[in-house]
Structure 1
């Protein structure tokens, strides 16, 4: 079967991209698919015995069935939890879409069926003065999954994000409603509105969970194309 590339983006930062990405990895694993994961750039890393590591990238590493080294999963690890292009400039690093794409394409040689690429923040996060992470997804020709953090403002953020992805010429594989606040006023009405306004399928609604294991999140997701 052809290798499936899925790019996980979000309507904002801290909307649950990693939780959902790990859920899709677990769901694909359960279907017998061989999976790998990449987070090309991560800001908010800590100095460990392995060098600079990021908790999101470590979760992806654990959830994928094909075990890559940390450096393969997160080739650009930046310490401050700030916009990646600012953190890279402060560290004296020159990020470019072509370089990040090159890191990702190294995984194409691996014996895997599905590659999950997790972005940083939202769709238009800059990586330098001219390019954004959207350029990485576009060069890789990924199908995009949008994680919608269910909170006030999510309708506008979701529709603008979808509009931008379509304008970039990429396929939207679907979207996921991730419930950040179970007490959000008119929560179900907001989810229903998104289903009415977005043509692409809702691949799942992830409730607020005490157990955020990849396998538990997978129970609420449908792998696109399966």
Structure 2
């Protein structure tokens, strides 16, 4: 049985790639073939092979099916700025219709477990009135939400879950990524998130001294996915 999900975050810098790599590692431990993609990425490094993004490379490292870099990250931009602004400066038409074919090819691969990771939060703009969330809608993928646990995360998480539901997509699960372990009343905040989010929590990932995929996977349970 094939499993495919769109990875969304409550904001930027909440650890979407860290959690995505951990999810891919957890799937590999189940004996599943894996594939991760990052359709749009800014903040890329210029290498001899072209622009490369560290997030996309991290997903490739946890993918048992290997595709060319351009298939995994078809829209790569050098400045570490909002993708739609980076695309404007590069004179690239960053529309959902432009991104869609490459991601459909990714989903057509024979991986047991496929993740397509977004950028920033749910309503990241693309060209015109398009948003990156429109890509998830066009692909019809259930969503795994990465909640960056810090002050204010409950509001961000609930609003994001409401937007996902309004867009007609299923929230398959969420991960509490504790990016600020000094968050006041941490356990109470986690309990409130569990009460308010309409999907199972598939893991609480503490602040790890070495947040590699293997360490993150130790805190995730794919069997909880709706």
Q: CA-atom RMSD, angstroms?
A: 1.1
Deviation at 1:221, TM superposition (A): 0.7
For 1:152 and 1:225, the matched residues in 2 are separated by 26
Q: TM-score, normalised by structure 1?
A: 0.97
For 1:107 and 1:152, the matched residues in 2 are separated by 36
For 2:67 and 2:210, the matched residues in 1 are separated by 25
The corresponding residue for 1:105 is 104
The corresponding residue for 1:82 is 81
The corresponding residue for 1:157 is 156
Which secondary structure state, in structure 2, belongs to the residue aligned with residue 28 of structure 1?
Answer: helix
Runs (4+) off by over 4 Å: none
Deviation at 1:125, TM superposition (A): 0.2
Which secondary structure state, in structure 1, belongs to the residue aligned with residue 119 of structure 2?
Answer: strand
1:62-89 Cα deviation digits (max 9, x unpaired)? 0111112211110100011111111000
Residues 1:30 and 2:29 are matched in the alignment = yes
For 1:76 and 1:51, the matched residues in 2 are separated by 12
Deviation at 1:225, TM superposition (A): 4.5
Which secondary structure state, in structure 2, belongs to the residue aligned with residue 42 of structure 1?
Answer: strand
Deviation at 1:216, TM superposition (A): 1.2
Conserved? CA contact 2:6–2:141, under 8 Å: yes
Which secondary structure state, in structure 1, belongs to the residue aligned with residue 12 of structure 2?
Answer: coil
Which secondary structure state, in structure 1, belongs to the residue aligned with residue 4 of structure 2?
Answer: strand
For 1:110 and 1:212, the matched residues in 2 are separated by 28
For 1:208 and 1:155, the matched residues in 2 are separated by 18
The corresponding residue for 1:201 is 200
Residues 1:70 and 2:69 are matched in the alignment = yes
Which secondary structure state, in structure 2, belongs to the residue aligned with residue 120 of structure 1?
Answer: coil
Which secondary structure state, in structure 2, belongs to the residue aligned with residue 66 of structure 1?
Answer: coil
Aligned residues: 225
Return 5+ residue gaps in structure 2 as ranges. Answer: none
Conserved? CA contact 2:175–2:204, under 8 Å: yes
Conserved? CA contact 2:38–2:117, under 8 Å: yes
Conserved? CA contact 2:175–2:205, under 8 Å: yes
Return 5+ residue gaps in structure 1 as ranges. Answer: none
For 2:4 and 2:130, the matched residues in 1 are separated by 21
